Amino acid sequence: MMFLRRVTSKLKPMPRSRLFSSDSGHDLSKVIAELNQEMEFVFGEPPASGPAGSSNSQTMAQESHLVMNDIVKKEMFSGLTHIGSKGEAQMVDISSKEITMRVAVASCKVILGQKVFDLVLANQMEKGDVLGVAKLAGVCGAKQTSNLIPLCHNINLSHVHLDLKLNPRDLSVEIKGQAASTGKTGVEMEALTAVTIAGLTVYDMCKAASKDILITDIRLEHKSGGKSGEWSRKV
């Protein structure tokens, strides 16, 4: 504040009669010289001027820009545990997490169409029991999740269950899968992988009869355990 007061006092307005006098330039140079001395006293070094000062200002601006970019990146990625502070992929360290019972439920739908639906219902597909094979495939898929999804942890599953039902209303197979484990990380990906692989297997078993089969609505329905606790999809 004292420095600002000194600056203000030195910049007193000149009378109009002196604005264009020969002494006005000398007075202005004197004021600038005194201000430079004040700034050197306050900040410890003379103010930057000329090409060198301009270069230093540009360097400082660039450094400030880089710092701001780092701050923005950290804020952007702070909620994504698989992404580091610089945006690189990383595996989450779960060493400090508590061991709890983890359960996840996922679902999926395979729309068959009338022709394929009737064949599956009558168990007349050339490859055999569509729903039975898809159910086993889903269980196998859940156990291979960490091999399929790069940053998933290899966890010990205590239970995997799939339920496949034919829905005559939209000519589809409704798939629901549950995965459970007692450990330090959740089993959402295992449940989602289970229903996805089951849906792909239904397609594989039926593709000879139709190419219009649609796999859709792959989603998490429920999870429990861990720091975030219980969550269920709102209907």
Cβ–Cβ under 8 Å, residues 203 and 120: no
Which secondary structure element, helix H or strand E, spans residue 220, and what is its range? strand 214-224
Nearest CA to 36 out of 25, 26, 24, 49 is that of 49
Distance CA 232, CA 126 (A): 39
Contact partners, residue 208, CB within 8 Å, separation at least 6 = 126, 127
3-state helix, strand, coil in the chain (%, to 5): 45, 20, 35
Distance CA 206, CA 203 (A): 5
Half-sphere exposure of 98 (CA within 13 A, CB side): 7
From 23, 129, 163, 204, the catalytic residue: 204
Q: Is 204 a catalytic residue?
A: yes
Question: What phi and psi, each to the nearest 5 degrees, are found at residue 111?
Answer: -85, 120
Cβ–Cβ under 8 Å, residues 107 and 195: yes
Beta strands in 86-201 (DSSP E): 100-111, 159-167, 172-183
22-43 and 2-10 helices cross at what angle (nearest 10)?
Answer: 170
Catalytic positions, please? 204
